[in-house]
């Protein structure tokens, strides 16, 4: 998994300028493969230098016009190769879980507030995902071309629903500070 492959995917969906690409990342791919704008621009330069993408010829005056990129056949082949490649699942590396384990040893002072903060954030993210699903994947279009994109969104919804449920249960299970 890598940023170059995420960028190739986004550019194959729609040729874009760096600015458009960063905005699209913020609203889609960035939910599960985040990247800063600087990382995206740096990677665009590498992908262009490697022959995977190219800047389209501007249709008007060059000065002040955004450079728009498209994927070349070498980039499409690299993405197809990477997509078919096997990859082992990655271990979960979540600092909150480590904090909870540590709290079992040193005490739970302040833990409830942190868990509540996470619960609030995960509820908000779940609401965002559900709104995206409602807007972009209506029931009447369930058999459309975007089934795989919807599957990615459903994974996000499932993960956020898990975190909301788990956090609520964990907050409820915290030892009471009352004597």
Task: State the Cα torsion 43-49-53-54 to the nearest 10°.
Answer: 120
pLDDT in tens, 27-74: 888 888 888 999 999 999 999 999 999 998 876 665 666 789 999 999
β-sheet bridge partners, residue 54: 70
Total-model pTM:
0.78
Q: Which two tokens stand for residue 97?
A: 């879980």
Query: For the segment 132-167, what is each residue's pLDDT rounded down to a tens digit?
Result: 999 988 877 666 668 888 999 999 999 999 999 999
Statement: residue 25 has pLDDT above 90: no
- Return the structure tokens found at 72: 């070349």
pLDDT in tens, 94-103: 999 999 999 9
Burial of 17: CB neighbours in 10 Å, binned 0-12, 13-18, 19+: middle
Helices marked H in the chain — which ranges?
A: 3-13, 18-27, 37-49, 73-84, 95-106, 111-136, 147-173
């Amino acid at each position: 998994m890598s940023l170059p492959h995420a960028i190739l995917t986004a550019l194959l969906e729609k040729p874009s300028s760096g600015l458009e690409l960063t905005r699209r990342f913020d609203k889609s791919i960035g939910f599960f493969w985040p990247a800063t704008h600087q990382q995206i621009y740096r990677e665009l330069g590498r992908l262009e230098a490697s022959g995977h993408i190219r800047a389209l010829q501007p249709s008007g005056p060059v000065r002040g016009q955004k450079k728009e990129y498209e994927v070349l056949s070498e980039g499409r082949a690299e993405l197809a190769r990477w997509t078919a490649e096997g990859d082992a699942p990655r271990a979960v590396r979540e600092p909150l879980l480590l904090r909870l384990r540590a709290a079992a040893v040193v005490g739970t002072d302040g833990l409830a507030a942190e868990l509540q903060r996470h619960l609030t954030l995960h509820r908000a993210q779940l609401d965002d995902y559900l709104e995206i699903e409602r807007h972009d994947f209506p029931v009447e279009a369930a058999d459309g071309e975007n089934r795989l994109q919807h599957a990615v969104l459903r994974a996000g919804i499932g993960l956020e629903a898990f975190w909301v449920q788990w956090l609520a249960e964990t907050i409820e299970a915290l030892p009471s500070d009352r004597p």
